[in-house]
């Protein structure tokens, strides 16, 4: 960590408390609401029968691309979750003073792709044992997380984590540090971040998995 990082709070690796958080603002970030890849909606209301999942696995650019490519995914969006600041900006999140992590909203059709399959994709596409970092991206805004809606999602996420931990143990990897918690508010990120790697095909993506497959299903 450089002196600049210490001064600005960038690369902060310990979570702040609510009373330390930046205040934010009442007005949300304005976005088009239209997915640049498939032209579907990124904001509610979504078509009947769709479900949602919010996850974080490091820089949200590459994470979002991994999910919009998945069969059965209707739409995706990037944003901020798990923190305290109302309607934060990207610059504020990067200071570590909002408590948020970079997150991806996945809108999917459960008749085509199961929650368990999407969770397996989540585990396999990053290293969930790294704490407040993902590769060279260091800071609380890069922590791994699953933010659940309802008891079913929470149970599915914890069961999936348990299965993947057993697979990691067998392969000699460390302990999962992924935060699993109820979803508070998902704040949409600025328009230029949405589907960033579609708009900038040569853009940065620092994600890398462990190479360990995640078992799926009750019999796993």
List residues bridging with 52 in a β-sheet.
Answer: 107
What sign does the dihedral 85-91-94-97 (CA atoms) show?
Answer: negative
**Among 59, 94, 205, 214, which one carries the catalytic annotation?**
59
Q: 193 Cβ partners below 8 Å, 6+ apart?
A: 60, 61, 78, 90
> What is the C-alpha radius of gyration for the chain, rounded to an integer number of angstroms?
17
Dihedral in degrees, nearest 10, Cα atoms 58, 59, 63, 64: 140
Farthest-apart Cα atoms in the chain, separation? 51
Beta carbons of 122 and 146 less than 8 angstroms apart? yes
Strand 144-148 to 51-57 pairing: antiparallel
Is residue 94 flagged as an active site residue? Answer: no
Structure tokens at 201: 């095909």
The sign one gets for the Cα dihedral 186, 129, 177, 122 is: positive
Contact in structure between 24 and 86 (CB atoms under 8 Å): yes
- Where in the sequence numbering do the catalytic residues fall? 59
């Amino acid at each position: 960590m450089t002196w600049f990082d210490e001064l600005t709070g960038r690369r902060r690796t310990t979570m702040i408390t609510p009373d330390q958080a930046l205040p934010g603002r009442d007005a949300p970030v304005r976005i088009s609401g239209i997915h640049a890849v498939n032209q579907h909606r990124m904001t509610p209301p979504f078509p009947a029968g769709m479900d949602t999942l919010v996850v974080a696995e490091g820089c949200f650019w590459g994470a979002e691309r991994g999910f919009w490519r998945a069969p059965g995914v209707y739409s995706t969006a990037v944003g901020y979750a798990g923190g305290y600041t109302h309607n934060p900006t990207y610059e504020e999140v990067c200071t570590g003073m909002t408590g948020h992590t970079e997150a991806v909203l996945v809108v999917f059709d459960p008749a085509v792709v199961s929650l368990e399959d999407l969770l397996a994709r989540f585990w396999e596409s990053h290293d969930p044992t790294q704490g407040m970092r993902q590769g060279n991206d260091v800071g609380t805004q890069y922590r791994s997380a699953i933010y659940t809606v309802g008891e079913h999602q929470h149970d599915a996420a914890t069961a999936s984590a348990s299965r993947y931990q057993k697979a990691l143990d067998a392969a000699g990897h460390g302990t999962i540090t992924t935060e699993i918690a109820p979803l508070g508010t998902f704040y949409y990120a600025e328009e230029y971040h949405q589907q960033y790697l579609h708009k900038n095909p040569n853009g940065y993506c620092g994600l890398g998995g462990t190479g360990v497959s995640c078992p799926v299903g009750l019999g796993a």
